[in-house]
Amino acid sequence: MRVIVGDITTLDVDAIVNAANEALLGGGGVDGAIHRAAGPELLEECRALGGCPTGEARVTSGHRLPAKWVIHTVGPVWKGGTAGEPDLLAACYRNAMAEARRLGAASLAFPAISTGVYGYPADLAARVAVRSVAKALRGNPGIEVVFCCFSEDSAAHHRAEMEEL
Ligand code: AR6
């Protein structure tokens, strides 16, 4: 696992993860950036998927992105932390890792799911992210995982969690 600060749409990895919504029809934030960079064919492919429940993951091609695949997942909306948000966020990371393995991806990049529009506190989300990915890699390594943060603050939270582990 490693942490970088940057734009996930530019990364030359096998797969990138999208922090989407249940409709899978695009939106703002990282979702908007991925759709812009991948081109309109991504939206067409997403339309055929018929949505994705919170915590689950769906795969499309990367189209015009450097990445071969986009793994779309839907993070929880933060409602104070007692509405199952940590388990749903952990499910996003676990299910995206499972899809990456199924695809045979050797490298995978995650954005900080739910920490933008969906309001999940960045420190708490980083804890779930690092722990869930570490758990998925334990006993089954072989995927290089990049936490592609959009701010130094977000990166610092991920680094701190990795050190604590
Ligand atoms: N590369 C990497 N990270 C990014 C990028 C980028 N190009 N752009 C933003 N981020 P958000 P959410 C960071 O709001 O909270 C959308 O409208 C951003 O700074 O994209 O899961 C969807 O359609 C933040 O740290 O996703 C949904 O409706 C992180 O990505 C909703 O937002 C996630 O922020 C999902 O909300």
Domain boundaries, the chain: 2-164
Q: How far is the CA of 116 from the centre of ligand 1 (A)?
A: 5
pTM attached to this predicted model: 0.98
9 lines ligand 1 (CB under 6 A): yes
Q: Counting beta carbons within 10 angstroms of the beta carbon of residue 23, is it exposed (0 to 12), middle (13 to 18) or buried (19 or more)? A: middle
The neighbour count for residue 83, using CB atoms within 10 Å, is 12
pLDDT at 140: 86
CB of 4 closer than 6 A to ligand 1? no
CB atoms within 10 A of CB 90: 18
Which tens digit of pLDDT belongs to each residue from 109-165?
A: 999 999 999 999 999 999 999 999 999 999 889 999 999 999 999 999 999 999 999
Is 31 in the active site?
Answer: yes
Q: What CA–CA distances, in Å, run from 155 to 27, 151, 159?
A: 23, 6, 6
The 10s digit of each residue's pLDDT in 17-29 is 999 999 999 999 9
Express each pLDDT in 81-110 by its tens digit.
Answer: 999 999 999 999 999 999 999 999 999 999
Which ligand 1 atom is nearest residue 28's CA? 17
Q: Does domain 2-164 have CATH number 3.40.220.10?
A: yes
